[in-house]
Each structure stands twice: as C-alpha cells, then as structure tokens.
Amino acid sequence: MRVLILYETHRGFTLTVARALRDGLRELGYDATAAPLRGTDPGTFAAADAFVVGTWVKGLIVAGVGPADGTEEGVRALPPLEGKPAIVFCTCDVSPRATLETLSEWLEARGADVRGRIVFRRKKSLAKAHEAAAAIADAFGTTG
C-alpha cells in the first residue's frame, strides 16, 4: 500500500514527525512518502492509496487555536480523495483544541475516509512516532 504523508510545517517539527511516521510505516512494509501539503504534484497524489495529513497548531492557548495558516488552502487544492483512507495529526505545545476535528472535516469534504487522529506535543511525543505508525498501519490494514 502506498501512503502519502502530507504536512504543513513552520519551524520544522511537523516535518520531523512526518519523516518519523514515514520511516515507521516503511519498517512495517508500507511504501510511504512524505511531502509538503502545498505544492505536491498531482501524480504523487494519484499514486497514493492512503493519506496521513498533518499540521502545526497556530494560536494562543485559548484564542485563535486551529490548523496552521495555509492548511485549509492546501486541503482544498487536493484532488477528490474518493473514499481513500486518511489519518490526521497535529503538532502543538499545549492543546490542539478542535484542530484535528477541523482538519478531519476538511478532508472528509474532499471525500477522504478519516480513520484516526493523533496529537504530537513538541516536548515529549516524538518518541511515540513508531507507536503512532503502528496505529496508522492498523487503521489502513494491508501493506500490499
């Protein structure tokens, strides 16, 4: 199964998480690729069987918290996802609030079958990337 991991990054942590998920999925037998959400070519999208989409969380602890600027535009620019399975993730310092729900809604509007949501907190959670990759694999099923 070909999994495309799309990310919106600002300071690089979301990219680091995307690469760790890619590596974890590859170890589990998936053909996984990480690419920026905005600017990925249509052929790369067409070749994917499943998607993982991640963003950093903007805002202040309680005000203006949500997916990073540019994330919605990136999702809207995706081709129709036609029921393809997807997982969403975000990176944050404190709390993502409704970030994952919002990102899920945007992907579902494009036709994705969102099967899971994962939060990575900056200070401690990169170590759980392999565990998260295994959960993604469980949600997607077969590697072939």
The predicted pLDDT at position 11 comes to: 85
The predicted pLDDT at position 135 comes to: 97
The predicted pLDDT at position 61 comes to: 64
Q: Exposed, middle or buried, 142 (CB in 10 Å: 0-12/13-18/19+)? A: exposed
Question: Phi and psi dihedrals of 70, rounded to 5?
Answer: 95, -20
Strand-pair category, 2-8 with 85-92 = unpaired
| Residue-range definition of the domain harbouring residue 114 | 2-140
Q: Mean pLDDT, 10 residues at a time, over the chain (144 residues)?
A: 96 94 97 94 92 92 82 94 96 89 97 97 84 97 70
The model's pTM is 0.93
What is the domain count for the chain? 1
Question: Phi and psi dihedrals of 83, rounded to 5?
Answer: 80, 5
Residue whose C-alpha is closest to residue 85's, from 7, 19, 43, 142? 142
CATH number at residue 29: 3.40.50.360
